[in-house]
């Protein structure tokens, strides 16, 4: 059983990008969803993190972040880049029933992305895991993708890790440990899914009916494993995955 894909995105909702290696910290993949776009006056009049399911154009954005400079490629080829800095303005947003504490960022991003979206947004920095639905790490298997007829479509599920194995994700019991390279994960359970899986992962266009084909657990469509990092470390594509 090998790691066949690793991925993340530094900007929540933007395209999930495949990487040759990922550092898994105690709060999840380092550099994953560091930033998010926020509607400063959401449905209830307060700040609200933009959700991909409600803003399906977001995956058409491609973002990269080296720890200092953020670069966002818009679909028209425009590149917006710079080093975001805290403005000092704190934003408190409800994110799927829990508070996300955000800090507004300066730079050209909000204006450029807002113009493309056709709405006012601000760019904010999020604490690790604050704008992640469920566990900090998600895992899918090539076997489960094959059974859905979605071979090679790992990015549709925006998983941190894809394992090359015919094994079903639901065969990994909650509490079991999974060593990937230098890191160890603890399985929490199945990953609840929403209609984002019906979107093309590069354009955001609705191109499939995947959600209704997923197994239902406790009344929710699910796919893949939800996990936390019990031992941080570096993981590379090609690393062995060992169940402990």
Which class is domain 2-7+134-243? mainly beta
Residue pointed to by tokens 């657990």: 217
d(CA 152, CA 169): 16
What residues does each domain of the chain span? 2-7+134-243, 35-126
d(CA 128, CA 35): 10
Beginning with the edge strand found earlier in the chain, give each strand of the sheet holding 21-25 in spatial order: 28-29, 21-25, 233-236
Q: Whole-model pTM above 0.85?
A: yes
User: From first to last of its 244 residues, what are the pLDDT tens digits of the chain?
Assistant: 999 999 999 999 999 999 999 999 999 999 999 999 999 987 677 899 999 999 999 999 999 999 999 999 999 999 999 999 999 999 988 787 788 889 999 999 999 999 999 999 999 999 887 888 778 999 999 999 999 999 999 999 999 999 999 999 989 999 999 999 999 999 999 999 999 999 999 999 999 999 999 999 889 999 999 999 999 999 999 999 999 8
Using alpha carbons, select from 183, 145, 186, 148 the residue that is nearest to residue 163.
145
């Amino acid at each position: 059983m090998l790691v066949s894909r690793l991925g993340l995105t530094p900007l929540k909702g933007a395209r999930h990008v495949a990487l040759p290696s990922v550092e898994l910290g105690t709060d999840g993949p380092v550099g994953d969803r560091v930033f998010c776009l926020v509607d400063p006056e959401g449905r209830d009049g307060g700040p609200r993190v933009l959700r991909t399911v409600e803003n399906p154009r977001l995956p058409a954005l491609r973002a990269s972040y080296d720890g200092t400079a953020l670069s966002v490629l818009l679909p028209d080829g425009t590149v917006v880049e710079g080093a975001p800095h805290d403005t000092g303005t704190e934003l408190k947003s409800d994110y799927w029933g829990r508070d996300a504490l955000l800090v507004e960022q300066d730079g050209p991003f909000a204006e450029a992305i807002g113009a493309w979206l056709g709405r006012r947004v601000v760019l904010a920095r999020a604490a690790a895991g604050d704008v992640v639905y469920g566990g900090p790490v998600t895992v899918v298997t090539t076997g489960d993708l094959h059974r859905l007829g979605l071979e090679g479509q790992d990015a549709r599920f925006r998983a941190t890790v894809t394992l090359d194995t015919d094994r079903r994700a639901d065969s990994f019991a909650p509490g079991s440990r999974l060593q990937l390279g230098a890191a160890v994960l603890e399985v929490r359970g199945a990953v609840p899914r929403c209609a984002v899986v019906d979107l093309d992962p590069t354009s955001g266009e609705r191109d499939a009916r995947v959600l209704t084909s997923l197994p239902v657990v406790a009344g929710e469509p699910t796919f893949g494993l939800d996990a936390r990092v019990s031992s941080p470390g570096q993981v590379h594509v090609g690393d062995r995955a060992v169940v402990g």
